[in-house]
Structure formats: structure tokens, C-alpha cells
Amino acid sequence: MRYKLYFTLENTNMPIDYRRSIISYIKHALQEYDEEYYKKFYNEKDPIIKPYTFAVFFKQPQINAEEIIIEDKRFELNISVEDYETAIILYNSFNKQKYKKFSINRNSFTLKNIEMAMEKEIKDNNITIKFISPLCVRRRQDKKDYYYSFEHEEFEDTLRMNITEQLKITNISSEIVKTLKITPIKAKKVINKFYEKKIECSTGTFTLQGDIQLLNYIYKARNGK
């Protein structure tokens, strides 16, 4: 299930680490609507796999080392949710926040509208996908995090590991992850700042090959088109 949230900003300046602000907003919305669901997805001590993801779209942003300038003071938040129950909880959480100001560093934003987005049903085991937000592939080893873009030799294997972990909260067999192959078409490596970390990610257009059920899951649980 997918929907789009449309926001207006109080001023034109957005922090370069804007994803941190978006996560804070999602947590705030969930906690105000349903404390039990908030605790289900967010725990200060334990990493929790979540059946949803998000991507932010700015129109013609001006980006420098410290901030992003958005002249029209608007942005779009795309939410993709793998399961229906969570999708409804999140939708209701956001709907409760409409027209309420949410403060961030030297700025604030307000949710103005929510729209449902059409979803496609994948019927082929070979598709082309363009990531709306950068693809972050992480390997946890010896209590340290390593992030790989498509340029790294461990990228594809680590991506399969990440998806295998995601499938643990679904009824889909992890065995089908072995069928996945990802090939860059028009892709590039990007460095994202997140919680003071600089993270190597991938963006652009890729082909995905694999089991149709797996491709449908990736499409529904990740922001791509």
C-alpha cells in the first residue's frame, strides 16, 4: 500500500540530515495515535525490522554542505507499506496530524494533504526499477556497520542478506531471495548524512531479476517506480 503526504514548510531551509526529522515525525505521529504500535516499532535498545519505508521528494532543491533550500516551501513524503494493518495504522496516525505544526531545527512543517497512490502488480521476473530515495545496504559485523553501494563487490550479497532479514516479519519463504539479481543501468553512488554518519548508498535505475513473489514484495516494501 502506498500513499503520498504533502507538506508545507515555515521557511525555505531544511537540514541536510532531513531524514532524521522525518523519522522523528513518524515516531511522533505513531505515538500520539497508538502507543502500542509505537512500542512495537520503536525501542531505544533493540533494532526492530519495520514493514514500511519512506522517500522524500523536493522540487528543484538547492543543496549545500549544511542544508537544503526549497524555494516553494513544499515537499512530498512517499510511504510504502508491505502489510495492510500497518498501512492503516500509519495512515490514521498521519491523518490525525493534518494541519498541525511539527517543529524541527530552525524550521517547522505542516501536513496539508494525503493521497493514495496506485500500485502495480508485477507479473514478470525481470523488471526495471528507479529508486525514489537512495538504496542503503548495510552489513553488521563485529558491532560495526558497513554500508555498500552498487560499486562494491559485497553489494549484491549484502542486499540479499538485508531482504532475508526483512522477510522474517512476513509469511514469505526466505529461500526465494537466492533468485534475486540486481544490475545497475543508470546508477550512481551517493553519500548521505544520517545521525552524523556518512553513508554510502546507491540511486538511479536498476534491473531486478527473481521470483515474482519476491519482486512484488520489494516493490511494495521499498520506494521505487
Q: Rounded distance, CA 2 to CA 115, Å?
A: 9
Residue where a domain stops, chosen among 93, 117, 141: 117
Q: Which residues lie below 8 Å from residue 96, measured CB to CB, with a gap of 6+? A: 29, 32, 33
- The reply to whether 44 and 145 lie within a common domain is no
Residues of the chain with pLDDT under 50: 224
Residue where a domain stops, chosen among 117, 143, 162: 117
Read off the CATH number of the domain in which 82 is found: 3.30.70.1890
Residue where a domain stops, chosen among 117, 140, 160: 117
Residue 107: what pLDDT?
92
- The reply to whether 89 and 141 lie within a common domain is no
- The reply to whether 44 and 140 lie within a common domain is no
Tens digit of each residue's pLDDT (9 = 90 or more) over 7-48: 999 999 998 888 889 999 999 999 999 999 898 888 766 667
- The reply to whether 8 and 105 lie within a common domain is yes
Q: Residue 54 CB: number of other CB atoms within 10 A?
A: 19
Q: Rounded distance, CA 223 to CA 5, Å?
A: 14
- Taking a C-beta distance cutoff of 8 angstroms, is the pair 122, 215 a contact? yes
- The reply to whether 134 and 159 lie within a common domain is yes
C-alpha R_g of the chain: 18
Tally of domains in the chain: 2
- The reply to whether 134 and 202 lie within a common domain is yes
pTM of the predicted structure, to 2 decimals:
0.78
- Taking a C-beta distance cutoff of 8 angstroms, is the pair 81, 2 a contact? yes
To the nearest 10 degrees (0 to 180), the angle between helices 155-166 and 212-221 is 80
- The reply to whether 59 and 21 lie within a common domain is yes
- H-only helix segments in the chain: 18-33, 35-41, 84-96, 155-166, 212-221
Read off the CATH number of the domain in which 202 is found: 3.30.70.1900
- The reply to whether 86 and 142 lie within a common domain is no
3-class secondary-structure state, position 15: strand
The arrangement of strands across the sheet holding 13-15 comes to 13-15, 67-69, 62-63
- The reply to whether 106 and 181 lie within a common domain is no
Residue 106: what pLDDT?
84
- The reply to whether 79 and 164 lie within a common domain is no
- The reply to whether 155 and 51 lie within a common domain is no
- The reply to whether 39 and 69 lie within a common domain is yes
Range of the domain at 216: 126-221
